[in-house]
């Protein structure tokens, strides 16, 4: 396989303009302010951009369409409660640029497919529904009625509802998500793949086994008051920039931070708060990580067991001084077997697989033992490995040993990457919904929901490729660029009879299609939504289980756009007709009615319409956080025993992980500058250890091809620039989605079925298509 379908080589040869400079010394600060203002002004204009930013993450404004980091409580928010990347996400969504029908008339799908993701995103908002008919070369306008009729025709022609799949992006608000899953289940299937399947599915699986809920337990206040916070597999400066201000509070309250990550990300090291004038004027910044451990890719189980093995030794010397035995006795199961497992762990294996010396591991253990307030945070650096569930359960094992759940300054913190991905799951976007949820849904709407489990994202890819799923509908997102094994995914989409995407802007998924294809334009979260003669609002759930209101205030673009709830309602009406028991039109006209139904179906939403209108919203129940109940098989929190994964590489092989550039959010590319890593004007780079570069007979600045190896299969991504970097030996890093083509569809995490985008075995060889380029100041990273 090759990445020809998604090669995404730039329209002009940007390899010739690539420069590598010294990475930024700290995250945020004046450079973030400058970039935020420039981006907002360029997309929206100065006045409209400023008005939008002042509404972002305010209690009477709209929730950021970016990450799911929580807002400070009402009354404690600044007037500028946003980060650089959140401002870029909102500005991108509200760009003044428009894609008119002439754009599609002048550009064929084939011509557009040769453009880069960045170029596609820069073309502007789509303002009317478009159709690509079977055999056609160009999209053309279609009325909403005809678009919904086409969807209904394709869906109702299927032999079984399971021949359709309904994808959900994490930006989808609660009200839309609830209607979407209701429509899908009234249609007769549980095929509800979503973006969570590709990111924190492993977290949900691990946490459910460990503590009985698939969500974290830490609050923002816990982060502020942590005595020690461990952050694993995470680049907060790019992925969750507002977390940096919370970590700054941690440090000012006397807390210590341990960063465990293969790359020394700027956002893990130092932070300059752009709203703290003294820091800015004196060019000072806050040191974040007190201890940085450059773990080998997938060495997290090893290093965590090493830390806990050191703790066992200290506990043996001073019984009762390290572990919270009262908590362990009352609230946990499996302690003694796990303790024996740690005693038996081999230090040689721990050091080899983690890449961290025993002395450094001992330093980390001493820090953990220095405080009884511990927060453990992690992101996709842990969730996208074959043994991802095991890695996360080791995080939970550490918290259980310390009794660090249900106390101030303690807790588990899976840092989720999209603004409502957790809320979508709460609303029922899950291919394996619990029987209790399905029963409540069926009772509320007087129908019998399907009981058979549906397809997750990887299963959907396989089913489309095999021809057993024939219709693919997406509520937002960029499915082709977000999924693994791009060539395989593209072929799977092409085998469908219909692909349809609810979207704001053009992306690559609109260019690789089934026999017929639809683009259904919607309004953004920041925009005014008037239905039934009055303004509506939606709600979202953040990473810490707070549900809050999001009220769009900006005027939507002129054109023929519909809100997401209206799109779902009209799609359902056209498809289900009199078969449905739902008053779809009434729900689309008044979102309070949707929330009334949610209140009666989803636990924890009592008085939904009242509580969501309170400034700052409300917390959903979290029984483990309150130590009230552990909904596990043992009725207690469970220790889990896992072997240390062993990495076996052939000569010349490296383990590659995919990462974000600072100039992107998920699959949306805002620009070609990653100042936190010093990479400018180019995305096709491979970060490598300088010794590995020498051993492989390569040189810095060389253009290479990357080949992945999995169970006898190879996949190729061409023309990447070798960049020496501080990364452990035999490890490499590249940007996604450019190297998603290398991630095998069948390489997935055990139990969670998440693609292993952070663990891809590759070889690197000189490119068959070399290019010339500039390269500045590489020596500092060697």
148 backbone dihedrals φ, ψ, rounded to 5°: -65, -35
Mean pLDDT, rounded, for 508-528: 96
Question: Which residues lie below 8 Å from residue 731, measured CB to CB, with a gap of 6+?
Answer: 262, 296, 297, 654, 655, 656, 657, 689
pTM of the model: 0.95
Contact assessment for residue 680 and residue 661, using Cβ atoms and an 8 Å cutoff:
no
The pLDDT score that the predictor gives to residue 170 is 87
For the stretch 443-474, pLDDT in tens is: 999 999 999 999 999 999 999 999 999 999 99
Mean pLDDT, rounded, for 138-142: 98
Residue 609 pLDDT greater than 80, yes or no = yes
Q: CA torsion 180→184→186→188, rounded to 10°?
A: -170
- Residue among 34, 171, 200, 175 nearest 89 (CA): 171
For the stretch 540-573, pLDDT in tens is: 999 999 999 999 999 999 999 999 999 999 999 9
The pLDDT score that the predictor gives to residue 7 is 43
Contact assessment for residue 709 and residue 719, using Cβ atoms and an 8 Å cutoff:
no
The pLDDT score that the predictor gives to residue 768 is 85
Residue 782 pLDDT greater than 80, yes or no = no
For the stretch 176-218, pLDDT in tens is: 999 999 999 999 999 999 999 999 999 999 999 999 999 999 9
Other C-beta atoms closer than 10 Å to the C-beta of 393 total: 25
The pLDDT score that the predictor gives to residue 270 is 85
CA-CA distance, 447 to 331, in Å (whole number)? 40
Residue 527 pLDDT greater than 50, yes or no = yes
Element (H, E) at 539: strand 538-541
Mean pLDDT, rounded, for 231-255: 93
Mean pLDDT, rounded, for 291-300: 98
- Residue among 511, 516, 431 nearest 479 (CA): 511
Mean pLDDT, rounded, for 652-660: 97
CA-CA distance, 319 to 311, in Å (whole number)? 11
Residue 277 pLDDT greater than 80, yes or no = no
Tokens of 98: 């428009």
Confidence of residue 16 (pLDDT cuts 50, 70, 90): low
270-272 β-sheet, strand order: 27-28, 270-272, 286-287
In the chain, the N- to C-terminal Cα span, in Å, equals: 33
CA-CA distance, 274 to 34, in Å (whole number)? 10
Confidence of residue 11 (pLDDT cuts 50, 70, 90): very low
The pLDDT score that the predictor gives to residue 8 is 41
Average pLDDT, the chain: 93
For the stretch 746-780, pLDDT in tens is: 999 999 999 999 999 999 999 987 543 332 322 22
Element (H, E) at 691: helix 690-695
For the stretch 405-457, pLDDT in tens is: 999 999 999 998 778 899 999 999 999 999 999 999 999 999 999 999 999 99
Confidence of residue 278 (pLDDT cuts 50, 70, 90): low
609: exposed, middle or buried (C-beta count within 10 Å: 0-12, 13-18, 19+)? middle
Comparing 2 with 221, the larger pLDDT belongs to 221
The pLDDT score that the predictor gives to residue 9 is 41
What percentage of the chain has pLDDT greater than the value 90?
80
For the stretch 29-82, pLDDT in tens is: 888 888 888 888 888 899 888 888 889 889 999 898 888 898 999 989 888 888
Question: How crowded is the C-beta side of 318, counted as CA atoms within 13 Å?
Answer: 8
Give the least confident one: 223-232, 640-649, 683-692, 767-776: 767-776
State the residue for tokens 């009325």: 143
What percentage of the chain has pLDDT greater than the value 70?
96
How far, rounded to the nearest angstrom, does the alpha carbon of residue 779 sit from its chain's CA centroid? 33
Conformation bin of residue 533: beta by default, left when phi > 0, alpha when psi is -120 to 50: left
Residue 13 pLDDT greater than 60, yes or no = no
Residue 1 pLDDT greater than 70, yes or no = no
CA-CA distance, 612 to 537, in Å (whole number)? 10
Mean pLDDT, rounded, for 639-665: 96
165 backbone dihedrals φ, ψ, rounded to 5°: -130, 145
Other C-beta atoms closer than 10 Å to the C-beta of 329 total: 9
107 backbone dihedrals φ, ψ, rounded to 5°: -125, 115
């Amino acid at each position: 396989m090759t990445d020809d379908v998604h090669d995404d080589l730039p329209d002009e040869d940007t390899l010739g303009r690539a420069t590598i400079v010294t990475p930024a010394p700290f995250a945020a600060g004046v450079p973030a302010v400058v970039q935020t203002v420039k981006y907002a002004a360029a997309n929206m204009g100065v006045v409209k951009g400023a008005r939008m930013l002042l509404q972002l993450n305010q209690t009477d404004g709209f929730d950021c369409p970016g990450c799911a980091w929580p807002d400070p409580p009402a009354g404690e928010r600044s007037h500028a409660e946003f980060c650089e990347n959140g401002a870029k996400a909102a500005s991108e969504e509200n760009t003044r640029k428009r894609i008119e029908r002439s754009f599609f008339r002048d550009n064929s799908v084939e011509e557009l497919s040769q453009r880069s993701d960045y170029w596609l995103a820069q073309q502007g908002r789509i303002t009317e529904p478009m159709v690509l008919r079977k055999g056609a070369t160009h999209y053309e306008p279609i009325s909403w009625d005809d678009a919904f009729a086409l969807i209904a025709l394709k869906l109702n022609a299927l032999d079984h509802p399971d021949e359709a799949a309904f994808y959900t992006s994490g930006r989808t608000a609660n009200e839309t998500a609830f209607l979407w899953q209701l429509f899908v289940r009234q249609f007769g299937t549980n095929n509800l793949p979503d973006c969570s399947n590709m990111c924190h599915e492993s977290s949900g699986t691990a946490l459910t086994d460990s503590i009985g809920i698939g969500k974290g337990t830490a609050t923002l206040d816990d982060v502020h008051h942590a005595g020690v916070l461990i952050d694993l597999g995470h680049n907060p400066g790019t992925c969750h920039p507002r977390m940096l201000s919370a970590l700054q509070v941690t440090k000012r309250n006397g807390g210590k931070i341990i960063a465990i990550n293969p790359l020394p990300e700027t956002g893990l090291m130092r932070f300059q708060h752009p709203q703290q004038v003294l820091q800015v004027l004196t060019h000072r910044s806050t040191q974040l990580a007190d201890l940085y451990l450059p773990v080998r890719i997938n060495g997290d189980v090893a290093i965590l067991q090493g830390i806990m093995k050191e703790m066992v030794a200290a506990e043996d010397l001073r019984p009762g001084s390290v572990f919270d035995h009262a908590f362990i006795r009352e609230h946990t199961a499996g302690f003694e077997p796990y303790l024996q497992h740690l005693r038996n762990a081999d230090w040689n294996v721990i050091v080899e697989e983690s890449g961290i010396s025993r002395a450094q591991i001992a330093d980390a253990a001493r820090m953990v033992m220095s405080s009884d307030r511990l927060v453990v945070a992690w992101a996709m650096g842990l969730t996208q490995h074959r043994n991802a569930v095991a890695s996360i359960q080791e995080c939970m094992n550490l918290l259980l040993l310390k009794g660090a759940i249900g106390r101030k300054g303690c807790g588990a913190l899976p840092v989720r990457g999209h603004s409502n991905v957790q809320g979508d799951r709460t609303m029922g976007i899950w291919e394996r919904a619990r029987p209790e949820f399905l029963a409540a849904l069926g009772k509320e709407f007087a129908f019998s929901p399907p009981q058979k489990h549906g397809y997750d994202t990887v299963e959907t890819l396989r089913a489309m490729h095999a021809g057993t799923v024939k219709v693919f509908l997406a509520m937002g997102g960029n499915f082709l660029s977000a999924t693994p094994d791009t060539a395989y995914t593209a072929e799977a989409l092409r085998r469908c009879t219909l692909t349809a995407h609810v979207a704001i802007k053009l992306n690559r998924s609109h260019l690789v299609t089934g026999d017929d294809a639809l683009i259904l334009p919607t309004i953004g979260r920041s925009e005014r939504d008037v239905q039934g003669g009055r303004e509506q609002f939606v709600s979202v759930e953040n990473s810490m289980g707070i549900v809050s209101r999001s009220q769009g205030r900006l005027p939507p673009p002129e054109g023929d756009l519909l809100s997401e709830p209206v799109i779902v309602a009209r799609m359902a009406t056209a498809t289900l007709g009199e078969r449905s028991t739902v008053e779809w039109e009434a729900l689309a006209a008044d979102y309070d009615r949707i929330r009334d139904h949610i209140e009666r179906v989803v636990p924890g939403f009592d008085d939904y319409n009242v509580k969501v209108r309170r400034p700052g919203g409300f917390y959903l129940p979290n029984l483990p956080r309150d130590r009230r109940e552990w909904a596990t098989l043992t009725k207690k929190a469970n220790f889990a025993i896992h072997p240390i994964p062993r990495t076996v590489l052939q000569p010349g092989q490296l383990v590659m992980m995919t990462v974000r550039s600072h100039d992107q959010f998920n699959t949306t590319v805002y620009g070609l500058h990653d100042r936190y890593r010093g990479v400018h004007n180019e995305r096709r780079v491979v970060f490598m250890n300088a010794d590995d570069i020498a051993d492989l007979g390569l040189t810095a600045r060389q253009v290479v091809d990357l080949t992945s190896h999995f169970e006898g299969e190879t996949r190729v991504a061409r023309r990447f620039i070798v960049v020496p970097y501080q990364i452990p030996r035999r490890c490499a890093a590249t940007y996604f989605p450019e190297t998603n083509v290398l991630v095998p569809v069948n390489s997935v995490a055990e139990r969670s079925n998440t693609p292993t985008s952070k663990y891809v075995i590759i070889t690197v060889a000189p490119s068959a298509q070399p290019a010339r380029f500039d390269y500045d100041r590489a020596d500092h990273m060697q």
